[in-house]
Structure 1
Amino acid sequence: MKKVFLLFIIAMAVACKNEPKEKVNAPTKTVEVKKEVFPAELGKVFEAHGGIEAWRNAETLSFNKGDEVHTSDLNSRKIVVNSPKFSMGFDGKEIWSLEEVKGGLKRDPSFYYNLYFYFYAMPFVLADNGIMYEKVDDLVFEGTHYPGYKISYKANIGTSPDDNYIVYYNSKSYKMEWLAYTVTFKSKAPVDNYKMIRYNSWENVNGFVLPKQITWYAKDKEGKYAPTTKIVDFTLPLISKEKLGDSFFEKPVK
């Protein structure tokens, strides 16, 4: 129901935008074009998934994870996560949550509100501001080599600037295949223990190649990566150039 409502809002925005308007002579403005600073190989990865320029022109991203509807403003990074059991989000200033559970929250909103946005918006979020890139050794899985880049953040960028990511891609298609990542949210200190996700299914969403399913992997007794039972499916994807109003991301008044 919430997805239908979101589609209705975007449709109304498009309708209003297409209404005839009186021509107004406005002063010419100078627009500064953003210069990208990521490695050329990652540029090819972004291009294989729809292109970084097209991504920067998009405004709204939405997807479902189970019964959770995750909706994001791609420029401000305002986010709302709605489900029958809880709601949380970021209104541009504060992280909020309506989840009330006896004994405390089941999920920390500061950690969870944008967690799956980052997993879903790969690889494009790896072109955010404040990122440093480092070429790393290939990941070798079942005899196939996957080239990789480590992504780290400058100090004071985001809630967990000590988090690191490594994106591994197909050397022929340049599509992203694997993501290694660390979690420092609670420790607030750098760690070397990487978790591993395989991006094993993609779909075309309005010209963008976005994940349909991801699977966590762990090393077995022989030190080889094997799939775990943790699998996440993404459904009802939506990406649009239409912008949602600020009130959409505000904490609802009870």
Structure 2
Amino acid sequence: MKKVFLLFALFSIISCKNDAKKSSENEIEKEEIKTVQEENFPEELGKVFQTHGGINTWRKAQILSFNKGEEIHTTDLHSRKTVINSPTYSLGFDGKEVWLDEEKAGTYKGNPIFYYNLYFYFYAMPFVLADDGIIYEKSKAISFKGIEYPGFKISYKANIGNSSEDNYIIYYNPKTFQMEWLAYTVTFNSKEPSEKYNLIKYNKWENVNGLILPREITWFQKDEKGNPTEPARPATEFTLPLLSQGKLADSFFEKPAK
């Protein structure tokens, strides 16, 4: 619980800081324009990022935290160090290895290496699709309730992350450029490319310090053409979001000492 208190103390301090002076803001804006021009993602995907708060707002952020049920997920957005705290276990990635700390052996039933950043990726959409080492290509649209949602397939260059064979397809509203759906493959166990996609609908969004991030997502069933049909399970909710330009000490992401 000590790490949780440190996290909330950090955000309390940051929230009390004064806004930057206008001259500094103007200098930052000039730098941001250059940065945007240097990005290599497609123009349409750039519009999706802009609709969700802008890639520069994402680039300047340092720490992202959210709750999923009793779990508190905290990630350093630049190093991707991560900690998940719950009442009975903690797990995380300290920059070198994934660790697990349980109050009682056998409390955590999953695979920490697979799980530690799983919901971070779902929650940090669409911005994690601007990471380094990504290959973009247009994908066939999907249809739901009379609306056609254009898509972009995202794949990774070799040796990027634990599952470089994973693919994602982001689908967006053609009028608003808001992200609406995410299709993804899971290759963690097989390490082989797959054409079997899971499909998530992004139901609700909220503004978190300038970024539009998900508040609720739902896994959907699909028909033979890959179009969504009906929910496959109850919605997953995210609560208590925190986004900061401040940093946490490296020790925050380390396995607690016994």
Q: TM-score, normalised by structure 2?
A: 0.87
Residue 111 of structure 1 is matched in structure 2 by 114
**Structure 2: which 5+ residue stretches go unaligned?**
19-30
Q: Secondary structure at the match of 1:43?
A: helix
Change (3 A) 1:217 1:131: same
Q: Secondary structure at the match of 2:233?
A: strand
Matches of 2:180 and 2:84 in 1, distance apart?
26
Residue 27 of structure 2 is matched in structure 1 by none
**Structure 1: which 5+ residue stretches go unaligned?**
19-30
Q: In the TM superposition, what whole-angstrom CA distance separates every residue of 1:153-194 from its partner, at most 9, and x where no partner exists?
A: 000000000000000000111000000000000111011110
Alpha-carbon distance, 1:103 to partner? 6.3
TM alignment of 1:164-179, pairs within 5 A:
164-179=167-182
Indicate yes or no: 2:50 matched with 1:47.
Answer: yes
Q: In the TM superposition, what whole-angstrom CA distance separates every residue of 1:64-105 from its partner, at most 9, and x where no partner exists?
A: 000000000000000000001210000111111113766695
Indicate yes or no: 2:252 matched with 1:251.
Answer: no
Q: Is 1:201–1:212's contact at 8 Å kept on the other side of the alignment?
A: yes
Residue 86 of structure 1 is matched in structure 2 by 89
Change (3 A) 1:222 1:187: closer
Indicate yes or no: 2:161 matched with 1:158.
Answer: yes
Alpha-carbon distance, 1:221 to partner? 8.6
Equivalent of 1:131, from 129, 134, 139? 134
Matches of 1:4 and 1:235 in 2, distance apart?
17
Q: Secondary structure at the match of 2:238?
A: strand
Quick check: which one's helix share is greater?
2
Percent identity over paired residues = 61
Residue 231 of structure 1 is matched in structure 2 by 235
Alpha-carbon distance, 1:61 to partner? 0.3
Q: In the TM superposition, what whole-angstrom CA distance separates every residue of 1:183-222 from its partner, at most 9, and x where no partner exists?
A: 0001110111100000010011111100000000013699
Matches of 2:104 and 2:163 in 1, distance apart?
26
Q: In the TM superposition, what whole-angstrom CA distance separates every residue of 1:92-149 from its partner, at most 9, and x where no partner exists?
A: 1111111376669511111000000000000000000000001011111121000100
Structural RMSD (CA): 2.4
Residue 69 of structure 1 is matched in structure 2 by 72
Residue type matched to 1:47 in 2? Q
- How many residues are aligned here? 241
Change (3 A) 1:151 1:123: same
TM alignment of 1:213-232, pairs within 5 A:
213-219=216-222, 225-232=229-236
Matches of 1:137 and 1:219 in 2, distance apart?
15
Residue 11 of structure 2 is matched in structure 1 by 10
Residue 196 of structure 1 is matched in structure 2 by 199
Q: TM-score, normalised by structure 1?
A: 0.88
Matches of 2:104 and 2:194 in 1, distance apart?
31
Change (3 A) 1:170 1:3: farther
Matches of 2:151 and 2:223 in 1, distance apart?
22
